[in-house]
Amino acid sequence: MKRDIDWNDLRYFLAMARLGRFSPAARRLRVEHSTVARRIERLERTMGTQLFDRHREGLTLTEAGQALLPMAEVVESTMAVVAEELSDRDVAVSGEVRLGTPEGLAVCFLTSKLKPLLDDYPELTVELLALPRLANLASREADLAITLEPPRRGPYVVARWTDFTYFLYGAQDYLATHAPIVTRTDLTGHPFIAYIDDYLLIPELSFLEKLCDKPNLRFCSTSMLAHKEAVLAGVGLAVLAPYIGVSDSRLTKVLPEEANFQHTFWLVAHADRLRLKRVRVVWDYLRSLSGAHRPLFLHGSG
């Protein structure tokens, strides 16, 4: 090693290690991609070893890079805590917190519920990732995530956020003009809307075979919000999360005592990110939010 490592170079190393390509890393760091390349090369010269293998598709960590990664992450988390403790002590909470959640939860529930938090902490910024997939905490895509499948290992803090119930829904106009549904057997004559199997967030979201033996599948999408719009358009029936179903009075539950599916949302954070005040504040607010809206999540009401 020729000289001391510059912490700023480690920031570039971490962005590249997590994202694997220059352009996404540059966007994350808000610099030109040439700056990222120059900083990586400088760090490699400083350390006297190659940290990345270059490929046409991007960069992957070498053995030396893999060894550096956990140490760089410790430095990153320590610097974040130091910066928070030493900056602007008159402001209790400030900075950005990135929260990753499923798209429907973000759009139909969380977005409208965040204003009290933002009012209480005017220097806080929440970045809400409304994703058609589960947030990737391993790549530090988000500080916090609400997910259907918690990590089973790693440096994470995991808490049960809320249990909730998926229900089968139909549009009122559709149900008024099609064969009545009194028992589960009646579902065979109706078209369905569902996820694309190859893009299921978790295997348990494959609902149709649990509803009837030979479902008449007519429309598929990776987005539950698209499912809702297809139901409203009269395409057929769909299983929706309760916060999506209750958000539009034109939707009606179908066989709610039989066609329902229990699941759990988990709140997850990197343990080192929870050392930051701003992340703990959002974590605590989210936990209070789910408790206050328990009837909505369990029963699709209230």
Three-state SS sequence of 265-287: EEEEEECCHHHCHHHHHHHHHHH
Asked whether 272 and 253 are in contact (CB, 8 A), the reply is no
Whether residue 187 sits in one domain with residue 109? no
End residue of a domain, out of 57, 86, 115: 86
Give the pLDDT confidence score for residue 237 in this predicted structure: 97
And the tokens for 14? 């971490």
Class of residue 68 by CB neighbours under 10 A (exposed 0-12, middle 13-18, buried 19+): buried
Whether residue 273 sits in one domain with residue 231? no
Q: Is the pLDDT of residue 1 over 50?
A: no
Q: How many residues does the chain have?
A: 302
Whether residue 64 sits in one domain with residue 209? no
Whether residue 222 sits in one domain with residue 138? no
Q: Is the pLDDT of residue 92 over 80?
A: no
Structural domain that includes position 32: 7-86
Any domain includes 1: no
Neighbours of 218 (CB within 10 A): 14
Q: Is the pLDDT of residue 67 over 50?
A: yes
94-126 pLDDT tens trace: 888 999 999 999 999 999 999 999 999 999 999
- Across the strands, what pairs with 267? 146, 159
And the tokens for 1? 């090693």
Q: Is the pLDDT of residue 20 over 70?
A: yes
Domain count, the chain: 3
End residue of a domain, out of 53, 86, 119: 86
Q: What is the CATH number of the domain that holds 37?
A: 1.10.10.10
Any domain includes 255: yes
Q: What is the CATH number of the domain that holds 138?
A: 3.40.190.10
Confidence band, pLDDT 50/70/90 cuts, at residue 3: low
Neighbours of 110 (CB within 10 A): 20
- Position 253: which residue type? K
Whether residue 182 sits in one domain with residue 251? yes
Q: Global pTM?
A: 0.76
And the tokens for 136? 């990737």
* DSSP code of residue 108: I
- Position 88: which residue type? D
Asked whether 186 and 211 are in contact (CB, 8 A), the reply is no
Mean pLDDT, the chain, whole residue set: 88
And the tokens for 148? 């259907």
Give the span between the Cα atoms of 25 and 32, in whole angstroms.
Answer: 9
Radius of gyration for the alpha carbons in the chain, expressed in angstroms and rounded: 23
Q: Which residue has the higher pLDDT, 290 or 89?
A: 290
138-155 pLDDT tens trace: 677 789 999 998 888 888
Any domain includes 169: yes
